[in-house]
Amino acid sequence: MELSAREIATYLNGEVEGNPDVKVSGFARIEQATQDTLCFLANPKYEEYLYKTGAGIAIVNKSFTLRQQAPSSCTIVWVDDAYRGIATLLDIYATLNAVRQSGREYPSRVSWRAKVGKGCYIGAFSYISKGAKVGNNVKIFPHVYIGNNATVGDNCILYPGVTIYAGCHVGSGCILHAGAVIGSDGFGFAPDENKNYKKIPQIGNVTLEDDVEIGANTCIDRATMGSTTIHRGVKLDNLVHIAHNVEVGKNTVMAALTGIAGSTKIGEGCMFGGQSGVIGHLTIGNNVSLTAKAGVSSNIKDGETHMGFPNIPVGAYRRSHVVFKNLPDLQKKVFQLEQEIRALKGNAK
Protein backbone atom coordinates (compact mmCIF):
# COMPACT_ATOMS: atom_id res chain seq x y z
CA MET A 1 0.00 0.00 0.00
CA GLU A 2 1.26 3.46 -0.91
CA LEU A 3 -0.35 6.67 0.35
CA SER A 4 0.47 10.34 -0.20
CA ALA A 5 0.26 13.03 2.46
CA ARG A 6 -2.73 14.51 0.61
CA GLU A 7 -4.59 11.17 0.69
CA ILE A 8 -3.82 10.67 4.38
CA ALA A 9 -5.10 14.16 5.19
CA THR A 10 -8.31 13.35 3.30
CA TYR A 11 -8.81 10.10 5.23
CA LEU A 12 -8.19 11.78 8.59
CA ASN A 13 -9.66 15.24 7.92
CA GLY A 14 -6.22 16.72 8.55
CA GLU A 15 -4.08 19.58 7.25
CA VAL A 16 -0.81 19.15 5.35
CA GLU A 17 2.32 21.13 6.19
CA GLY A 18 5.04 20.45 3.63
CA ASN A 19 4.96 18.44 0.40
CA PRO A 20 1.43 17.01 -0.10
CA ASP A 21 2.64 14.64 -2.83
CA VAL A 22 5.24 12.76 -0.78
CA LYS A 23 4.33 9.08 -0.48
CA VAL A 24 4.96 6.37 2.10
CA SER A 25 4.52 2.62 1.91
CA GLY A 26 4.88 1.53 5.52
CA PHE A 27 4.74 2.45 9.22
CA ALA A 28 7.49 2.96 11.79
CA ARG A 29 8.14 4.33 15.26
CA ILE A 30 9.07 7.99 15.19
CA GLU A 31 12.64 7.32 16.39
CA GLN A 32 13.23 4.58 13.80
CA ALA A 33 11.37 5.89 10.76
CA THR A 34 12.83 6.18 7.24
CA GLN A 35 11.84 8.30 4.26
CA ASP A 36 9.36 5.73 2.89
CA THR A 37 7.53 5.28 6.21
CA LEU A 38 4.86 7.06 8.22
CA CYS A 39 5.15 7.84 11.95
CA PHE A 40 2.96 9.65 14.45
CA LEU A 41 3.30 11.90 17.50
CA ALA A 42 0.48 11.68 20.05
CA ASN A 43 2.52 11.92 23.26
CA PRO A 44 4.56 15.12 23.83
CA LYS A 45 7.13 12.97 25.64
CA TYR A 46 8.42 11.95 22.20
CA GLU A 47 8.44 15.43 20.65
CA GLU A 48 12.25 15.58 20.52
CA TYR A 49 12.27 12.72 18.00
CA LEU A 50 10.16 14.73 15.55
CA TYR A 51 13.04 17.18 15.02
CA LYS A 52 15.41 14.44 13.85
CA THR A 53 13.07 11.81 12.42
CA GLY A 54 13.79 10.34 9.01
CA ALA A 55 10.09 9.75 8.29
CA GLY A 56 8.53 10.92 5.05
CA ILE A 57 5.28 11.82 6.82
CA ALA A 58 4.42 12.40 10.48
CA ILE A 59 0.89 12.58 11.88
CA VAL A 60 0.81 15.10 14.75
CA ASN A 61 -1.91 16.37 17.11
CA LYS A 62 -3.20 19.83 16.19
CA SER A 63 -3.16 20.71 19.88
CA PHE A 64 0.66 20.55 20.05
CA THR A 65 2.75 23.71 19.86
CA LEU A 66 6.16 22.62 18.61
CA ARG A 67 9.27 24.11 20.19
CA GLN A 68 11.19 24.20 16.91
CA GLN A 69 10.91 23.47 13.19
CA ALA A 70 10.58 19.86 12.05
CA PRO A 71 13.11 18.70 9.42
CA SER A 72 12.24 19.80 5.88
CA SER A 73 12.38 16.19 4.70
CA CYS A 74 9.32 15.35 6.86
CA THR A 75 5.83 16.40 5.84
CA ILE A 76 3.44 16.88 8.77
CA VAL A 77 -0.25 16.03 8.67
CA TRP A 78 -1.97 17.86 11.52
CA VAL A 79 -4.97 15.98 12.91
CA ASP A 80 -7.31 16.20 15.92
CA ASP A 81 -6.14 12.89 17.38
CA ALA A 82 -2.93 11.33 16.05
CA TYR A 83 -3.39 8.08 17.96
CA ARG A 84 -6.86 7.56 16.57
CA GLY A 85 -5.60 8.60 13.14
CA ILE A 86 -2.81 6.02 13.05
CA ALA A 87 -5.33 3.38 14.19
CA THR A 88 -7.55 4.27 11.22
CA LEU A 89 -4.65 3.99 8.77
CA LEU A 90 -3.46 0.69 10.28
CA ASP A 91 -6.97 -0.67 9.90
CA ILE A 92 -6.99 0.31 6.23
CA TYR A 93 -3.54 -1.26 5.78
CA ALA A 94 -4.56 -4.49 7.52
CA THR A 95 -7.74 -4.77 5.43
CA LEU A 96 -5.90 -4.30 2.14
CA ASN A 97 -3.18 -6.78 3.09
CA ALA A 98 -5.31 -9.40 4.81
CA VAL A 99 -4.77 -13.02 3.78
CA ARG A 100 -7.94 -14.18 2.03
CA GLN A 101 -8.11 -17.68 3.45
CA SER A 102 -11.04 -19.94 2.75
CA GLY A 103 -11.86 -23.59 2.38
CA ARG A 104 -10.99 -26.52 4.57
CA GLU A 105 -7.60 -28.04 5.27
CA TYR A 106 -7.07 -31.67 6.15
CA PRO A 107 -6.80 -33.36 8.52
CA SER A 108 -9.62 -31.58 10.34
CA ARG A 109 -12.96 -32.83 11.58
CA VAL A 110 -16.41 -31.28 11.33
CA SER A 111 -19.23 -33.34 12.82
CA TRP A 112 -22.03 -34.14 10.42
CA ARG A 113 -24.34 -32.71 13.05
CA ALA A 114 -22.49 -29.35 13.12
CA LYS A 115 -23.45 -26.39 10.94
CA VAL A 116 -20.78 -24.26 9.24
CA GLY A 117 -21.68 -21.10 7.33
CA LYS A 118 -20.48 -19.81 3.98
CA GLY A 119 -17.01 -18.46 3.27
CA CYS A 120 -15.34 -20.07 6.28
CA TYR A 121 -11.74 -21.19 6.60
CA ILE A 122 -11.08 -24.30 8.69
CA GLY A 123 -7.40 -24.96 9.42
CA ALA A 124 -5.72 -28.34 9.79
CA PHE A 125 -6.29 -30.35 12.98
CA SER A 126 -9.31 -28.27 13.98
CA TYR A 127 -12.30 -30.03 15.54
CA ILE A 128 -15.92 -28.87 15.37
CA SER A 129 -18.17 -31.01 17.56
CA LYS A 130 -21.74 -32.16 17.12
CA GLY A 131 -24.42 -29.53 17.50
CA ALA A 132 -21.93 -26.69 17.07
CA LYS A 133 -22.95 -23.75 14.88
CA VAL A 134 -20.39 -21.61 13.06
CA GLY A 135 -21.50 -18.46 11.21
CA ASN A 136 -20.42 -17.04 7.86
CA ASN A 137 -16.89 -15.90 7.00
CA VAL A 138 -15.35 -17.30 10.17
CA LYS A 139 -11.58 -17.94 10.17
CA ILE A 140 -10.71 -21.03 12.20
CA PHE A 141 -6.96 -21.52 12.34
CA PRO A 142 -5.25 -24.88 13.01
CA HIS A 143 -5.74 -26.74 16.29
CA VAL A 144 -8.96 -24.94 17.26
CA TYR A 145 -11.54 -26.90 19.27
CA ILE A 146 -15.25 -25.99 19.28
CA GLY A 147 -17.26 -28.11 21.70
CA ASN A 148 -20.73 -29.65 21.55
CA ASN A 149 -23.55 -27.16 20.93
CA ALA A 150 -21.19 -24.17 21.05
CA THR A 151 -21.93 -21.28 18.72
CA VAL A 152 -19.64 -18.86 16.89
CA GLY A 153 -21.13 -15.83 15.13
CA ASP A 154 -20.33 -14.33 11.73
CA ASN A 155 -16.94 -12.82 10.84
CA CYS A 156 -15.05 -14.16 13.85
CA ILE A 157 -11.34 -15.04 13.89
CA LEU A 158 -10.18 -17.95 16.05
CA TYR A 159 -6.39 -18.10 16.07
CA PRO A 160 -4.39 -21.33 16.60
CA GLY A 161 -5.07 -23.29 19.74
CA VAL A 162 -8.30 -21.56 20.76
CA THR A 163 -10.62 -23.78 22.83
CA ILE A 164 -14.35 -23.14 23.12
CA TYR A 165 -16.00 -25.56 25.53
CA ALA A 166 -19.42 -27.14 25.09
CA GLY A 167 -22.44 -24.86 25.23
CA CYS A 168 -20.53 -21.58 25.09
CA HIS A 169 -21.55 -18.75 22.80
CA VAL A 170 -19.32 -16.36 20.84
CA GLY A 171 -20.97 -13.38 19.16
CA SER A 172 -20.25 -11.87 15.75
CA GLY A 173 -17.06 -10.02 14.90
CA CYS A 174 -15.09 -11.47 17.80
CA ILE A 175 -11.34 -12.13 17.76
CA LEU A 176 -9.88 -14.85 19.97
CA HIS A 177 -6.09 -14.98 20.02
CA ALA A 178 -3.89 -18.05 20.30
CA GLY A 179 -4.45 -20.26 23.31
CA ALA A 180 -7.56 -18.47 24.59
CA VAL A 181 -9.85 -20.79 26.58
CA ILE A 182 -13.57 -20.06 26.74
CA GLY A 183 -15.64 -22.11 29.18
CA SER A 184 -13.13 -23.94 31.38
CA ASP A 185 -14.51 -24.96 34.77
CA GLY A 186 -14.89 -22.31 37.42
CA PHE A 187 -12.80 -22.76 40.56
CA GLY A 188 -15.48 -24.35 42.71
CA PHE A 189 -14.63 -26.77 45.53
CA ALA A 190 -16.29 -27.51 48.88
CA PRO A 191 -14.39 -29.05 51.83
CA ASP A 192 -15.97 -32.11 53.46
CA GLU A 193 -15.74 -33.16 57.12
CA ASN A 194 -12.24 -34.55 56.47
CA LYS A 195 -11.09 -31.29 54.87
CA ASN A 196 -10.92 -32.95 51.47
CA TYR A 197 -12.10 -30.73 48.65
CA LYS A 198 -15.05 -31.96 46.63
CA LYS A 199 -15.50 -30.50 43.15
CA ILE A 200 -18.67 -28.49 42.57
CA PRO A 201 -19.95 -29.21 39.05
CA GLN A 202 -19.91 -26.13 36.83
CA ILE A 203 -23.00 -26.52 34.65
CA GLY A 204 -23.28 -22.99 33.25
CA ASN A 205 -21.55 -21.50 30.22
CA VAL A 206 -19.77 -18.42 28.85
CA THR A 207 -21.39 -15.86 26.57
CA LEU A 208 -19.31 -13.40 24.57
CA GLU A 209 -21.36 -10.69 22.89
CA ASP A 210 -20.42 -9.05 19.55
CA ASP A 211 -17.08 -7.32 18.84
CA VAL A 212 -15.25 -8.81 21.81
CA GLU A 213 -11.49 -9.40 21.56
CA ILE A 214 -9.77 -11.94 23.80
CA GLY A 215 -5.97 -11.94 24.17
CA ALA A 216 -3.60 -14.88 23.93
CA ASN A 217 -3.78 -17.42 26.78
CA THR A 218 -6.66 -15.62 28.44
CA CYS A 219 -9.12 -17.87 30.30
CA ILE A 220 -12.80 -17.21 30.91
CA ASP A 221 -14.45 -19.73 33.24
CA ARG A 222 -17.94 -21.08 32.74
CA ALA A 223 -20.56 -20.23 35.33
CA THR A 224 -21.52 -22.57 38.13
CA MET A 225 -25.10 -21.90 37.00
CA GLY A 226 -26.24 -19.42 34.39
CA SER A 227 -23.61 -17.56 32.36
CA THR A 228 -20.30 -15.78 32.70
CA THR A 229 -21.04 -12.82 30.43
CA ILE A 230 -18.68 -10.58 28.49
CA HIS A 231 -20.71 -7.79 26.97
CA ARG A 232 -20.33 -6.10 23.59
CA GLY A 233 -17.05 -4.35 22.73
CA VAL A 234 -15.00 -5.66 25.67
CA LYS A 235 -11.24 -5.99 25.01
CA LEU A 236 -9.16 -8.31 27.18
CA ASP A 237 -5.37 -8.41 26.92
CA ASN A 238 -3.15 -11.51 27.12
CA LEU A 239 -3.12 -13.67 30.27
CA VAL A 240 -6.30 -12.26 31.77
CA HIS A 241 -8.45 -14.49 33.98
CA ILE A 242 -12.21 -14.05 34.33
CA ALA A 243 -13.73 -16.38 36.94
CA HIS A 244 -17.16 -18.03 37.05
CA ASN A 245 -20.35 -15.96 36.98
CA VAL A 246 -18.49 -12.68 36.38
CA GLU A 247 -20.22 -10.05 34.27
CA VAL A 248 -18.11 -7.51 32.36
CA GLY A 249 -19.94 -4.46 31.01
CA LYS A 250 -19.67 -3.28 27.43
CA ASN A 251 -16.58 -1.45 26.14
CA THR A 252 -14.52 -2.28 29.22
CA VAL A 253 -10.81 -2.94 28.66
CA MET A 254 -8.38 -4.91 30.82
CA ALA A 255 -4.60 -5.02 30.46
CA ALA A 256 -2.45 -8.14 30.82
CA LEU A 257 -2.46 -10.27 33.98
CA THR A 258 -5.68 -8.82 35.33
CA GLY A 259 -7.73 -11.24 37.43
CA ILE A 260 -11.42 -11.00 38.34
CA ALA A 261 -12.73 -13.39 41.00
CA GLY A 262 -16.11 -15.11 40.90
CA SER A 263 -19.52 -13.41 40.77
CA THR A 264 -18.14 -9.88 40.51
CA LYS A 265 -20.04 -7.40 38.34
CA ILE A 266 -17.95 -4.96 36.28
CA GLY A 267 -19.65 -1.90 34.79
CA GLU A 268 -19.41 -0.34 31.34
CA GLY A 269 -16.48 1.65 30.00
CA CYS A 270 -14.02 0.61 32.69
CA MET A 271 -10.22 0.59 32.27
CA PHE A 272 -8.13 -1.86 34.32
CA GLY A 273 -4.34 -1.58 34.39
CA GLY A 274 -1.97 -4.52 34.19
CA GLN A 275 -1.81 -6.97 37.11
CA SER A 276 -4.86 -5.44 38.75
CA GLY A 277 -7.12 -7.80 40.66
CA VAL A 278 -10.66 -7.80 42.02
CA ILE A 279 -11.94 -10.15 44.73
CA GLY A 280 -15.24 -11.98 44.36
CA HIS A 281 -18.85 -10.82 44.81
CA LEU A 282 -18.12 -7.10 44.34
CA THR A 283 -19.85 -4.48 42.22
CA ILE A 284 -17.64 -2.15 40.18
CA GLY A 285 -19.47 0.84 38.69
CA ASN A 286 -19.38 2.31 35.20
CA ASN A 287 -16.32 4.20 33.88
CA VAL A 288 -14.10 3.05 36.74
CA SER A 289 -10.32 3.07 36.28
CA LEU A 290 -7.82 0.90 38.14
CA THR A 291 -4.12 1.65 37.97
CA ALA A 292 -1.57 -1.13 37.46
CA LYS A 293 -1.36 -3.66 40.34
CA ALA A 294 -4.43 -2.26 42.10
CA GLY A 295 -5.98 -4.80 44.48
CA VAL A 296 -9.71 -4.23 44.83
CA SER A 297 -11.41 -5.52 47.99
CA SER A 298 -14.48 -3.27 48.14
CA ASN A 299 -17.19 -1.95 45.84
CA ILE A 300 -16.37 1.07 43.67
CA LYS A 301 -18.82 3.77 42.60
CA ASP A 302 -19.25 5.09 39.05
CA GLY A 303 -16.45 7.18 37.61
CA GLU A 304 -13.88 6.66 40.35
CA THR A 305 -10.16 5.93 39.88
CA HIS A 306 -8.52 3.64 42.42
CA MET A 307 -4.99 2.44 43.06
CA GLY A 308 -2.98 0.54 45.64
CA PHE A 309 -3.68 -2.53 47.76
CA PRO A 310 -6.10 -2.50 49.36
CA ASN A 311 -7.61 -0.10 46.86
CA ILE A 312 -8.35 3.51 47.79
CA PRO A 313 -9.26 6.52 45.60
CA VAL A 314 -6.27 7.82 43.68
CA GLY A 315 -6.21 11.21 45.45
CA ALA A 316 -6.12 9.61 48.90
CA TYR A 317 -3.44 7.17 47.76
CA ARG A 318 -1.17 9.93 46.51
CA ARG A 319 -1.54 11.90 49.74
CA SER A 320 -0.79 8.73 51.73
CA HIS A 321 2.23 7.98 49.57
CA VAL A 322 3.73 11.38 50.31
CA VAL A 323 3.59 10.53 54.02
CA PHE A 324 4.83 6.97 53.49
CA LYS A 325 7.97 7.93 51.57
CA ASN A 326 8.84 10.48 54.26
CA LEU A 327 8.57 7.97 57.13
CA PRO A 328 12.38 7.60 57.61
CA ASP A 329 12.75 11.36 58.10
CA LEU A 330 9.70 11.45 60.35
CA GLN A 331 11.18 8.63 62.44
CA LYS A 332 14.41 10.60 62.95
CA LYS A 333 12.42 13.64 64.02
CA VAL A 334 10.42 11.55 66.51
CA PHE A 335 13.66 10.18 68.03
CA GLN A 336 15.05 13.71 68.32
CA LEU A 337 11.86 14.93 69.99
CA GLU A 338 11.93 12.00 72.43
CA GLN A 339 15.53 12.87 73.39
CA GLU A 340 14.62 16.52 73.86
CA ILE A 341 11.60 15.58 76.01
CA ARG A 342 13.76 13.32 78.21
CA ALA A 343 16.28 16.11 78.57
CA LEU A 344 13.59 18.60 79.54
CA LYS A 345 12.14 16.17 82.08
CA GLY A 346 15.63 15.69 83.58
CA ASN A 347 16.15 19.43 83.89
CA ALA A 348 12.71 19.83 85.44
CA LYS A 349 13.62 17.32 88.17
* DSSP single-letter state for residue 335: H
Counting runs of H as helices and runs of E as strands, what totals does the chain give? 5, 40
- Contact between 47 and 67 under an 8 Å Cβ cutoff? The reply is yes
Neighbours of 265 (CB within 10 A): 17
| CA pair distance 254, 344, nearest whole angstrom | 58
User: What φ, ψ does residue 342 adopt, rounded to 5°?
Assistant: -60, -40
Write the CB contacts of 90 (distance below 8 Å, at least 6 apart in sequence).
27
Length of the chain: 349
* DSSP single-letter state for residue 158: E
| CA pair distance 53, 76, nearest whole angstrom | 11
Q: Which residues are catalytic?
A: 244
